[in-house]
Structure 1
Amino acid sequence: MSTQNETFYQPERFILIGIPGLEVAEFWISIPMCLMYVLTILGNSAMLLIILPQETFHKPMYLFLCMLSIIDLVATTATIPKILSIFWFDDKEIDFNACLVQLFLIHALSMMESTVILSMAFDRYVAICYPLRYTSILPNSMIAKIGVAAITRGSVLMAPAPFLIRRLSYCRNNVISNTYCEHMAVVKIACTDTTINQVYGLIVALLVIAVDAIFISMSYLAIFIAVLRLSSKEAREKALSTCAPHVCILIISNVPALFSFFVHRFGHSIPLHIHIIVANVYILVPSMCNPLIYGARTKEIRKRIIVIFKNLNFLKQFI
């Protein structure tokens, strides 16, 4: 057989196999996944509808929440419908270019979210350590610049990935062991040297995960030290309570991401279905939890939700 028949540089489509070993349970897995996706859409849309029209909410913390909601809506919509179609209709094929677009969006949006979470940590640091200078350090113009920086950082760092993947050869193997197109999952099935792709992925991950983790840790360490210096117990509790949602989101977002990152490179003994389930958790759970955690923990948002429901009940009397 000739070399031309054995290899091809750009397959027309990839096959997403779902969750190997759990094919029988995929339908039942899809039910909570669908419910979580609906909650993600409703929760993040509600955050945008509550915050954006109200000028009183046009403050750094709430604007960062809007950024998170937009990122989460795009990220989940780029992945979950396709995953559900795999589970429900056995629709496992995905066009090569669509796979690259999905891959780019997933990782670029993840980097943008990491940048926003880092900015939120800095926001809490300024609010607690320099409360009198808060508005001068973080005016709305600065928040806009941070938003642009987050988009630029994620897009620029992820831009080489599709081009690096296009240069790979796939020897009659276009089956991706995942429910969506992930960078390393696509790279692993190539039959040519993938050293450049792997080094690129490692460098980008270190630039985002390591750098952000260092600065986030420094911010919260400074916050913790500042809180301990407060003389009032109530002031300490209030300061710590404002940081609690941010720490929760940080844990929910980063733990699955780190697990997926290390498993791809070092966790060869971990069952494939565990890796894929965690990869799906990484996409869906933080996106669902962001509005739930912030909506439940932020007094101003809770008050606004109560006002909206009261208005709805008032309108029902005239319907």
Structure 2
Amino acid sequence: MAQVLRPLQDTFRPADYPNLLVGLGAPDDAAVWNLGDGRALVVTTDFFTPIVDDPYDYGSIAAANALSDLYAMGATPMFALNVAALPTSLPPEVVEAIIRGGADKVREAGAVIAGGHSVQDDEPKFGLVAVGMASVDRLLTKGGLRPGDVVFLTKPLGTGVTSTALKHGGASPADVAEAVTWMKTLNASAATLALEHGARAATDVTGFGLLGHAVEMAAASNIQIEFFAGAIPLLEGAARYAREGFVAGGTRDNRAHFGPSVTLAPEVDETTRTLLFDAQTSGGLMFGLPQAYLPTVLTQAVLAGVDLWPIGRVADGSGVLVVPGAWPSTHPLK
């Protein structure tokens, strides 16, 4: 990818665009443009092929997934543009359901669909260009973790293996319904919670899986992240689907690409390893806060109705380490 982007980096030198706070340099979840008045415009785009059978759910998940990049940067969504590539053979009522699912999710986020573009394609694809606003001094980036931080996650893992099992007829309706509910859930409240407690670093866990995105954060922050495998939440049925081999190609790619930067303790079993690399769709926020905030943020999460799991800690070093067991008693939750 670095080679592919080289012409852009050669054409648009960062020094020539001082207002572009986040762009083609260090990888992050969205582009950020400084407006010069303490505010920043945050812009992202994301779209993908269907991962569920219901067209309304597909549109809703695609929208939530795109909006998640704004939340991961600490931005509030303002408006979005639809991006659609659809077969002409798709019935109008199916297309309408996809568009309506996305529109309802954008409206739930307090934003508006302002337009879009569509083309014909053999396989459906749908998503958004999403635009938001953030305070320059409260931006969240992948590079803000510090030694001593606790790492939190706001959604369970397993959407990749569950959707793959669905595609091959091996997923139970109950497990699919649970996965869909999580994927349709906006990360808005989670982002608010993180910002209210002074978070500096965040990302959303999507296609690179938990460990892939953690490797990016560790590299950007110049630190090491240590995860406790038993503290990481999983969707019901996810472990079974991983054991049964419902593993997407993206998950295998994640393991091949990011594996060299990850140290997995021998006690961490193969199923867990697969799920930690599992390519997610519309996953949760992963963010860091100082250890001293742990009891307070957990209490506030309950009051705000935000699902929140402490899953790791930040130390000096590099890369990502995964050890067995639950959250250590030396780091009490209360």
TM-score bracket for the superposition, by shorter chain length: under 0.3
- The structure where strand makes up a greater share of residues is 2
Structure of greater Rg:
1
Q: Which has the higher contact order (CA 8 A, sep 6+)?
A: 1
More helix by share: 1
Provide TM-score, normalisation by structure 2. 0.25
